[in-house]
Amino acid sequence: MMTLLGISPQLLFGQLLIGLINGVFYAMMSLGVAIIFGMLRIGNFVHGAQYMLGAFGAWYLLHLPDLFPGLGLPSLGYWWALALVPFAVGLIGAGMERLFIRRVYDLEHAYGLLLTVGLAMVIEGLFNVGYGAAGQQYNIPDSLKGGVNLGFMFMPYYRLWVIVAGIAVCIATWYTIERTKLGAYLRAATENPDLVRAFGINVPRMLMLTYAFGVGLAGLAGVMAAPIYQVSPQMGQSIIITIFAVVVIGGMGSISGAIFTGLMLGMIEGLTKVFWPQASTTVIFVIMAIVLVFRPAGLFGKETVAAHAADMSTARPDSILENGKLWLVILGVGGAILPFLVYPVFGMKMLCLALFACAYNLIFGYVGLLAFGHAAFYGSSAYIAAYTAASWGFPTEIAILSGVAVATVIGALFGWLAIRRQGLYFAMITLALAQVVYFYAIQAPWTHGEDGIQSVPRGYLLGVIDLSDNMNMYYFVLAIFLIGFAAIYRIVRSPFGQVLKSIRENEPRAISLGYSTERFKLLAFTLSAMLAGLAGGTKAIVFQIASLADVYFMTSTDALLMTLIGGVGTLLGPVVGAVIVVTMQKEFATLGSWVIVVQGTAFVLCVLFLRKGVVGTLEDWLAARAERRRIAAGGEPAAIARGAH
Amino acid sequence: MSAPDNNQADNIIEARGLTKRFHGFAAVSEVDLDVRRHAIHALIGPNGAGKTTFFNLITKVLQPTEGTIRFNGRDITAESPAAVARRGIVRSFQISAIFPRMTVAENVRIALQRPVGTSFHFWRPESSLDTLNGRVDELLDAVGLLSLRDQTAAGLPYGRKRALELATTLALEPELLLLDEPTSGLGGEDVDRIADLIRKVSANRTILMVEHNLSVVSKLANTITVLARGKVLAEGTYAQISTDQRVIEAYIGGEE
Ligand SMILES: Nc1ncnc2c1ncn2[C@@H]1O[C@H](COP(=O)(O)OP(=O)(O)OP(=O)(O)O)[C@@H](O)[C@H]1O
Ligand SMILES: [Mg+2]
């Protein structure tokens, strides 16, 4: 039968083996993510970086004499690494929990994810500064060199070891959590911390140890992975998104489910490599989409709990900072003057990203859904606009609109899939779906892979105004920005926007009033994707290029960062955030790889100290000042202050 | 009382064999319950008896493990919570459910807005909803909140929040009103005000209410169902229930 399909057993079993090895890593990693998610309610995005730390830890131990010459340190091999590194990485995890993660337990779940995204950027950024994109070689330990011929295939000992050891670790973890008293305490602590505290157990320490344990698992996986994959700063970044998809597929609340799902998906990925190689990078994400349609709670998950939306908005509706008509005029005038103060191209970049952030804020700020894949809409629109303008000779405005149309359709599809889940799951799902677009863009011939679509003609607006002139182009972009800004203001302050607001404030109540809230969220998500597409398409024309960076998840992260810095759910926040982030990127451009470290640090600092963002903080200050003045003028201290919360 | 006596049994709700299990624990267990049209029907029982869970089943917030629910003779067991609400079953919540950062008037308007049919119209200005203001003010007046219409709801005292919730619920002109402990957490004067209000709005609609305050129950309800440990323990008028030995035992046993 195999020969009928033209596939040799060697290839089939070889790929299945690779798949199984990947599956072991998926299982170990998703186990850690699931434990941390289940017990701490933290979507541990930094898990990939922690895995990378494990691999680098092993590499460091091996190179101790080179790293610290003169100290006479020995070179510690694989087995030492296996014994020491998971503890060291776990210890680092404990430190991170104490310093950072502990501070967000009581906040909206979104902050936990944002914080760990920031930490991942810092750690991976630092290693990138040190080691660049090149991978370090780590040899298989001597004792596990060679292999055994199974007749139908050659089985290297090291791979056999990884499979056996990895599965053993998974089973031991499962046993500890599901079958021992310690595990019972852990599970109880997450459901009812007060009760467990009454038993005389130190809950904060227990949570710290849990986190350290999950991180240690990642470190262990990293050590085991070092001889198989290259030890590189990027190794964790690609795996974490897959892990999130695995967790979504497996479903919450089942440790054995996470293990089984990880192994199974690794094998499916391996099989896909045999039968349809192009699809192997996306198969897990596609399976995730299918599972979401038929079993929204995941294969092994319990009933989905109706979580509420994250209300992170800091706006006061009657504040002067929320007066859209006024600010439309101010931004229009300011925007018109801007190209005389800065380079028009720089100004256009600001405008495109500001529109992108405003579009993102529509779903994150005004609906409270932590979307994490807006790069898919921004980037796909950029590609379509670039392609239709460059290859089909579409007029500029039609090219941009084509991009917008495609982004809208993708947005509706992704939204339809993702809206089934809320909170952190929503973030993981949108992130994973966006990854499908990214991998498609890598492989499709028309997107030209790493090069992207270049030399896109800017064309003529309405066939007359020459857009290759930077000033003309600038005012066109300004007009697009203002239209987008006005559209969002209208959406937020429409009958539809009222319903969105009610959903954000109290979704169960909105449902009990007869609103099918999912449809409202879907429409909002689609509109947000559409406007993100408008920003992306415009950007492709301005810079005359559409590239992988546009669909890469870092672009989604940028949208988040801009919104967060500026002020979530405020009218002006995304604009202010875009100005800050774009300026920061420009100022730090000379730092090269450090930019990502700086951005990650900004993320962490924002989550810890500036959760209201610049505009939200300003808002508070204005409100406090107004209150002081009123009291100074003889008013009563407000018992029922407007906007109190 | 307010209900015009109808000889043939005209039930707005018929629940049959309704059961909800959480991880094997039956919070509601094989409950058969009929609610007569235009009645004020009270559901009482000790803490944890399953009253709120029963409400959640009727309003489809929870999917029953077993059993069926009929509303006006139609099987609604498989419908979504929002669809059930659109059919005319609207509830209040045990812990007041308002939209805290919207104004008092906006809280009521959001309910009035749905039947207008422009709720998906993201291109219309908010001022297109101004036509509802008259009705908003009427409803606020009815619950004594008119003078506070432009306050943010979060700043209201608790009793006022409950009144606001009731106004929002009434705005939908529900055929069946489910009230989960409408007077809980209220002081004496507020209790009387809410009780009067419930009586006032009971004309031409059916009310099913969970209530711990037995004096309110005795004043308002024409039928009372007692729930204990997820099961129906007794049903009847206040006089019948208050002398039922099993009910007294359940309360004494349940309250400890
Ligand atoms: N989502 C849930 N998961 C697990 N158990 C639940 C859930 N909801 C309710 N229960 C349990 O079901 C039982 C009935 O709860 P319910 O809230 O319906 O009681 P109640 O009669 O409304 O009580 P109260 O008078 O205190 O409001 C309780 O033991 C409760 O712990
Ligand atoms: Mg209750």
The last residue of a domain, from among A520, A535, A552: A552
Sign of CA dihedral A68, A71, A73, A75: positive
Residue A546's φ and ψ, nearest 5 degrees, are -125, 130
Nearest to A345 by CA among A177, A528, A541: A541
Question: Is the per-residue pLDDT at A152 higher than 90?
Answer: no
Question: Is the per-residue pLDDT at A590 higher than 70?
Answer: yes
Residue A164's φ and ψ, nearest 5 degrees, are -65, -50
CA distance B169 to chain A (A): 7
Nearest to A356 by CA among A519, A546, A611, A582: A582
Considering only residues 237 to 276 of chain A, which have any Cβ-Cβ distance to chain B shorter than 8 Å?
none
- Which residues, 6 or more positions from A105, have their beta carbon under 8 angstroms from its beta carbon? A40, A41, A42, A112, A207
For residue range A235-282, what is the model confidence (pLDDT) as tens digits? 988 899 889 889 888 887 678 888 999 999 999 998 888 888 888 888
The pairing of strands A460-461 and B231-236 is unpaired
CB-CB under 8 Å, B101 with A643: yes
Give the number of whichever ligand sits closest to the CA of residue B227.
1
The percent of chain A in helix, strand and coil, each rounded to the nearest 5, is 70, 0, 25
CB-CB under 8 Å, A510 with B97: no
Q: What is the DSSP string of A427-443?
A: HHHHHHHHHHHHHHHHH
Residue A144 lies in a domain: yes
Give yes or no: residues A244 and A352 share one domain: no
Question: Is the per-residue pLDDT at A47 higher than 90?
Answer: yes
* Residue A305 contacts B, CB cutoff 8 Å: no
Give yes or no: residues A399 and A437 share one domain: yes
Rounded to whole angstroms, how far apart are CA atoms A639 and A574? 32
* Residue B122 contacts A, CB cutoff 8 Å: yes
Give yes or no: residues A233 and A327 share one domain: no
Q: How many angstroms separate the Cα of B34 from the Cα of each of A517, A624, B237?
A: 30, 55, 14
Coil, strand or helix at A149 = strand
Considering only residues 484 to 523 of chain A, which have any Cβ-Cβ distance to chain B shorter than 8 Å?
490-491, 493-499, 501-502, 505-506, 508-517, 519-520, 523
pLDDT at A258: 86
- Complex ipTM value: 0.88
> Which residues of chain B make contact with A568, given a CB cutoff of 8 A?
none
Question: In this predicted model, which residue has the larger pLDDT, A438 or B201?
Answer: A438
Give yes or no: residues A421 and A282 share one domain: no
Rounded to whole angstroms, how far apart are CA atoms A180 and B128? 61
Q: What is the pTM of this model?
A: 0.89
How many angstroms from the chain centroid is the CA of residue A238? Answer: 11
Residue A3 lies in a domain: no
For residue range A108-125, what is the model confidence (pLDDT) as tens digits? 878 888 899 999 999 999
Residues A316 and B103 sit within 8 Å (Cβ to Cβ): no
Question: Is the per-residue pLDDT at A308 higher than 60?
Answer: no
Give yes or no: residues A237 and A181 share one domain: yes
Nearest to B6 by CA among B27, B37, B31: B37
Give yes or no: residues A133 and A223 share one domain: yes
pLDDT at A642: 43
Ligand 1 atom showing the smallest separation from residue B53 Cα: 18
Give the residue from chain B lying closest to A511, CA to CA: B82
Give the residue from chain A lying closest to B149, CA to CA: A642
Residues A388 and A399 sit within 8 Å (Cβ to Cβ): yes
- The amino acid at A96: M
Rounded to whole angstroms, how far apart are CA atoms A163 and A263? 10
Residue A216 lies in a domain: yes
How confident is residue A630, by pLDDT bands cut at 50, 70 and 90? confident
Residue A387 lies in a domain: yes
How confident is residue A303, by pLDDT bands cut at 50, 70 and 90? low
How confident is residue A645, by pLDDT bands cut at 50, 70 and 90? very low
- The verdict on the CB of residue B94 being under 6 Å from ligand 1 is yes
List residues bridging with A149 in a β-sheet: A154
Residue A618 lies in a domain: no
Question: In this predicted model, which residue has the larger pLDDT, A261 or A9?
Answer: A261
Query: A438: domain range?
Result: 320-552
pLDDT at A63: 86
Per-position b or e across B78-94, b if 16+ CB within 10 A of its CB: ebebbebbbbbbbbbbb
- The verdict on the CB of residue B50 being under 6 Å from ligand 1 is yes
Give yes or no: residues A289 and A328 share one domain: no
How confident is residue A2, by pLDDT bands cut at 50, 70 and 90? very low
Give yes or no: residues A373 and A496 share one domain: yes
- For atom 24 of ligand 1, which residue has the closest CA? B47
H, E, C per residue of chain B: CCCCCCCCCCEEEEEEEEEEEECCEEEEEEEEEEEECCCEEEEECCCCCCHHHHHHHHCCCCCCCEEEEEECCEECCCCCHHHHHHHCEEECCCCCCCCCCCEHHHHHHHHHHHHHCCCCCCCCCHHHHHHHHHHHHHHHHHCCCHHHCCCEHHHCCHHHHHHHHHHHHHHCCCCEEEEECCCCCCCHHHHHHHHHHHHHHCCCCEEEEECCCHHHHHHHCCEEEEEECCEEEEEECHHHHHCCHHHHHHHHHHHC
Rounded to whole angstroms, how far apart are CA atoms A159 and A494? 60
Q: How many angstroms separate the Cα of A218 from the Cα of each of A14, A236, A544?
A: 25, 10, 41
Sign of CA dihedral A21, A23, A24, A30: positive
How confident is residue A307, by pLDDT bands cut at 50, 70 and 90? low
- The amino acid at B60: K
Question: Is the per-residue pLDDT at A620 higher than 60?
Answer: yes
pLDDT at A40: 81
Question: Is the per-residue pLDDT at A202 higher than 80?
Answer: no
Tokens of A398: 């039609």
pLDDT at A521: 95
Nearest to A356 by CA among A467, A479, A481: A481
- Going along chain B from its start, the domains and CATH numbers come out as 10-86+208-256 (3.40.50.300), 89-173 (3.40.50.300)
Give yes or no: residues A261 and A327 share one domain: no
pLDDT at A424: 79
Give yes or no: residues A189 and A232 share one domain: yes
Residue A220 lies in a domain: yes
Q: Name the domain count of chain A.
A: 2
CB-CB under 8 Å, B80 with A495: no
Tokens of A123: 């750690």
Give yes or no: residues A272 and A325 share one domain: no
Rounded to whole angstroms, how far apart are CA atoms A71 and A375? 48
CA distance A166 to chain B (A): 32
How confident is residue A3, by pLDDT bands cut at 50, 70 and 90? low
- The verdict on the CB of residue B51 being under 6 Å from ligand 1 is yes
- The verdict on the CB of residue B46 being under 6 Å from ligand 1 is no
How confident is the model over A599-610, as a mean pLDDT? 90
List residues bridging with B76 in a β-sheet: none
CATH of the domain at A221: 1.10.3470
- The verdict on the CB of residue B53 being under 6 Å from ligand 1 is yes
- For atom 7 of ligand 1, which residue has the closest CA? B22
**Percent above pLDDT 70 for chain A:** 93
| Nearest Cβ partner for B122 among A496, A516, A639 | A496
The last residue of a domain, from among A533, A552, A571: A552
Residues B133 and B126 sit within 8 Å (Cβ to Cβ): no
For residue range B60-85, what is the model confidence (pLDDT) as tens digits? 989 999 999 999 989 999 999 999 99
> Which residues of chain B make contact with A483, given a CB cutoff of 8 A?
none
Q: What mean pLDDT is reported for chain A?
A: 86
Residue A563 lies in a domain: no
- The verdict on the CB of residue B255 being under 6 Å from ligand 1 is no
CB-CB under 8 Å, A306 with B85: no
Give the residue from chain A lying closest to B174, CA to CA: A513
Residue A12 lies in a domain: no
The last residue of a domain, from among A524, A552, A580: A552
Weakly modelled stretches of chain B, pLDDT under 50 = 1-8, 254-256
Q: Which of A49-58, A240-249, A452-461 has the lowest mean pLDDT?
A: A452-461
End-to-end CA distance of chain A: 68
Coil, strand or helix at A266 = helix
Give yes or no: residues A263 and A338 share one domain: no
Give the residue from chain A lying closest to B100, CA to CA: A505
